Chains A and B, each alone.
Chain A
Amino acid sequence: MSPTPPDGAPLPPAIEVAALRRTYDVKPRPVVALDGVDLEVAPGEFFGLLGPNGAGKTTLIKILTTLLLPSAGTARIFGFDVATDTRRIRRIMNMVAGGEQSGYGILTVREQLWMFSQFYGLGTREGWRRVDALVEAVGLGEQRLQRVSTLSTGQRQKMNMARGLLNDPWILFLDEPTLGLDVSAARSIREQVLAWKAEIPGRTVLLTTHYMAEADELCERIAIVDRGRILAIGTPAELKRRVQRDSIFRLAVDRLDGGPAALARLPGVVSAALASDHAPDAQHVAVNLVLREDAALGGVVTALARMGSQIRSLGKSEPTLEDVFVALVGRGLADEADDTAPLPPSEADDDLAAAHAPSHDAEAGR
């Protein structure tokens, strides 16, 4: 069921982005974090931005949540311009970021959430009522009178999630919400988001993640982002069909001199990338191989023997979002550390901007 505003008029897109560009003026040269992004998300959609660290996902979320101004282009949230209609946008959206320890440690969970309820404009009593309901909903009932500083990482993120729902947003921005959480806590966060969204038609979620399985599980549509550009948009099934015509194998070898790049150069190999679940300290090297046809496998096996690698396991697999990502980007998420290709001057990302920004690590004091 699609949402309809009280006056019956059709709703504008939840997110409408056109030719969005963001440059950071850092030395030695400006860094382009977003390079002409076009995107439209309908009300009620669960939309995912999938990409490696530094792809530009967080920059896009910062612009959409009015934390950052775009350098060029336009972005609208339910028809409101992020550059000029900030007050309206802030009343209908909220955001939750992962991988951070935010909060006033001296306050209790209840106090902290109530303070925010006041900043979101709820009345005193309504604030308490809503805080108590959300604390229970996210499973922090037992910790509600506990100081924020005593919460575990997972509990803090649950509290953060409750804060993100306090103002009952029309659109919720989730920036890597399960980053750094254990399996159980991450599942709990995902379930909360899904349950919240299902309650009322029209609630929209924009999720950024570099966890392929999370994007696959949650998102109705996904945009694959790399180096400030959207490379592909579609449902998970549509995206997977893009590589359906190729043969996909999962290969494990005892060692791989030259890394996956050594395989990617072989005839008939579309791409080769370390599997995202590959552990650096594992006793074998796990590689996802995309071949033009099954026959190319013979050449790969021969090459491996020549390189002195022993095959531990080899199996054909159904395409995953990871395969789509590798096919589009030319490398896997786990390959980032090995990615030695220099970035063109016009392509850059958040990490680059951060790396170029001066750092001051002196201990704060007063």
Chain B
Amino acid sequence: MAVTAGGIGDSRRVEGLGLADTARHAWAALLLGWRVESNWADPVLFAIYTVIRPVSSMLLLTMMVAIVGGSADASSRTFVILGSALWAMLVSGLAGPAWSVLEDRERYRTLKYLYTSGATLLVLLVGRGGSRLLIGAMGSLVAILVAVALLGLRIDPAAVDWPLLLAAMLLGLPPVLALGIGLAAVCLQTRQESWNYPDAFSGAMFLVSGVVFPLAVLPRPLEALGLLNPVTWWVAGVRRAIIPGGPSSIGGAGSLWTAVTGTDAPGPAVILGALFLTGAVTTLVATALFRGSERRARDQGLLDRTTGS
């Protein structure tokens, strides 16, 4: 029923939220995020954040590999290009919910109105994070196209494992958003300096996700941490789907994976299974963390705190 229906005291007005309400809230948050974050009104800003930044990062890393690696073969270059292109999407997904908390609270001063609107804050942040993820995906796509045009990246559409790519995306994006929700939980408790947290956290994730180098080069504890990280499996799944038979970030000589399983690299089924498991655990932990943070924020009066931005 419509939210405004019923007179004063009509109990129908206070019925619980249904699935349709939750979907509406998420969709509106996605639209809001798209309108606010995409900076359509300022094409230069949009280009910088969405296109130039990821493309520059990718070019930088590729050049570094070419210079440092010297004789690095085409497959190593492809490994780096795909990893760094995906990174734009990952960073957007990680940062989206956290920046939404900070922007809505500090800059737009709307967080208190959103929080008391009847919509669930978690759903709103997933919607806002989703819009950033979409924008990040655009950056990733552009970066890959640039790599095809300028860096000689070869992707054979006929050879792409489309089902694996779809499955990796479906299973991989929720935990990416969940990590962003976890970061938002932290930002809900902190102040303005937390604008830097998403970048700092992304930097740390860069190390343990097998994005530009195999996990095997890391010390064993970090390598183990990387194997528990759903982003590692997501990146590995997407790589494997786009360039079947290409180098893997997970296995290989001297790797923890090979030492434990005796196999050179995980196959598609193992990748998806590990992605599902690590993703589910990450999502549950992030949701619990956010619920606790939300409760504490309400207790401490942090939901409408502004610190002078």
Contacts of A201 in B (CB 8 A): 8
Contacts of A364 in B (CB 8 A): 102, 106-107, 192, 195, 309
The distance in angstroms between the C-alpha atoms of A167 and B168, with both chains bound, is 41
Contacts of A107 in B (CB 8 A): 35-36
Digit string of B270-309 for contact with A (CB within 8 Å is 1, else 0)?
Answer: 0000000000000000000000000000111101110111
Evaluate contact between B124 and A119: CB separation under 8 angstroms: yes
In the assembled complex, A102 has its CB within 8 A of some CB on chain B? yes
Known: A103-B108, A106-B35. A362 touches B14 (CB 8 A): no
Q: Which residue on chain B has the smallest CB distance to residue A357? A: B305
Shortest beta-carbon distance from A305 to chain B in Å:
49
In the assembled complex, A88 has its CB within 8 A of some CB on chain B? yes
Evaluate contact between B36 and A366: CB separation under 8 angstroms: no
Shortest beta-carbon distance from B208 to chain A in Å:
23
Shortest beta-carbon distance from B148 to chain A in Å:
30
Stretch at the interface among A1-9, A231-239, A308-316: A1-9
Q: Which residue on chain B has the smallest CB distance to residue A201? A: B8
Evaluate contact between A200 and B116: CB separation under 8 angstroms: no
**Among B10, B29, B108, B199, residue most surrounded by chain A Cβ atoms (within 10 Å):** B108
In the assembled complex, A118 has its CB within 8 A of some CB on chain B? yes
Contacts of A121 in B (CB 8 A): 3, 17, 21, 24-25, 118-119
Contacts of A130 in B (CB 8 A): 4
The distance in angstroms between the C-alpha atoms of A366 and B39, with both chains bound, is 15
In the assembled complex, B75 has its CB within 8 A of some CB on chain A? no
B106-159 residues at the A interface, CB under 8 angstroms: 106-110, 112-119, 124
Q: Which residue on chain A has the smallest CB distance to residue B192? A: A360
Cβ-defined partner of B13 (8 Å) among A3, A7, A92, A203: A92
The distance in angstroms between the C-alpha atoms of A320 and B256, with both chains bound, is 81
In the assembled complex, A128 has its CB within 8 A of some CB on chain B? no
Cβ-defined partner of B16 (8 Å) among A87, A168, A365: A87
Q: Which residue on chain A has the smallest CB distance to residue B304? A: A67
Shortest beta-carbon distance from A188 to chain B in Å:
21
Digit string of A102-133 for contact with B (CB within 8 Å is 1, else 0)?
Answer: 11111100010001101111110010001000
Digit string of B2-24 for contact with A (CB within 8 Å is 1, else 0)?
Answer: 11101111110110110001001
Report, as a range, how many residues of chain B touch the other chain. Answer: 35 or more
Evaluate contact between B192 and A106: CB separation under 8 angstroms: no
Evaluate contact between B28 and A360: CB separation under 8 angstroms: no
Shortest beta-carbon distance from B285 to chain A in Å:
24
The distance in angstroms between the C-alpha atoms of A78 and B36, with both chains bound, is 36
The distance in angstroms between the C-alpha atoms of A359 and B305, with both chains bound, is 11
Evaluate contact between B3 and A6: CB separation under 8 angstroms: no
Evaluate contact between A3 and B307: CB separation under 8 angstroms: no
Digit string of A352-366 for contact with B (CB within 8 Å is 1, else 0)?
Answer: 010001111111111
Contacts of B11 in A (CB 8 A): 5-7
Contacts of A362 in B (CB 8 A): 192-193
Contacts of A92 in B (CB 8 A): 13-14
The interface on chain A, measured as residues whose beta carbon lies within 8 A of the other chain's beta carbons, has a size of 64
In the assembled complex, B201 has its CB within 8 A of some CB on chain A? no
The distance in angstroms between the C-alpha atoms of A357 and B301, with both chains bound, is 11
Evaluate contact between B8 and A11: CB separation under 8 angstroms: yes
In the assembled complex, A80 has its CB within 8 A of some CB on chain B? yes
Q: Which residue on chain A has the smallest CB distance to residue B21? A: A121
Evaluate contact between B109 and A100: CB separation under 8 angstroms: yes
Contacts of B2 in A (CB 8 A): 122-123, 126
Evaluate contact between A115 and B108: CB separation under 8 angstroms: no
The distance in angstroms between the C-alpha atoms of A87 and B28, with both chains bound, is 19
In the assembled complex, A47 has its CB within 8 A of some CB on chain B? no
Q: Which residue on chain A has the smallest CB distance to residue B103? A: A364
Known: A24-B301, A366-B99. A90 touches B7 (CB 8 A): no
Contacts of A116 in B (CB 8 A): 113, 117
Evaluate contact between A78 and B9: CB separation under 8 angstroms: yes
Evaluate contact between B116 and A360: CB separation under 8 angstroms: no
Contacts of A365 in B (CB 8 A): 195
Known: A3-B8, A362-B192. A102 touches B116 (CB 8 A): no
Shortest beta-carbon distance from B287 to chain A in Å:
18
Evaluate contact between A119 and B114: CB separation under 8 angstroms: yes
The distance in angstroms between the C-alpha atoms of A306 and B6, with both chains bound, is 68
Contacts of A178 in B (CB 8 A): none
Evaluate contact between B4 and A119: CB separation under 8 angstroms: no
Evaluate contact between B307 and A360: CB separation under 8 angstroms: yes
Q: Which residue on chain A has the smallest CB distance to residue B107? A: A364
With A6-B9, A366-B99 already in contact, 9 other A-B pairs whose C-beta atoms are closer than 8 Å? A5-B8, A5-B10, A6-B7, A97-B112, A104-B108, A111-B35, A115-B31, A115-B32, A360-B193
The 4 closest A-B pairs by CB, nearest first: A5-B9, A202-B8, A118-B28, A102-B109
10 A–B contacts, CB within 8 A, in A order? A3-B8, A68-B299, A78-B9, A93-B116, A121-B21, A167-B4, A202-B9, A359-B307, A360-B307, A364-B192
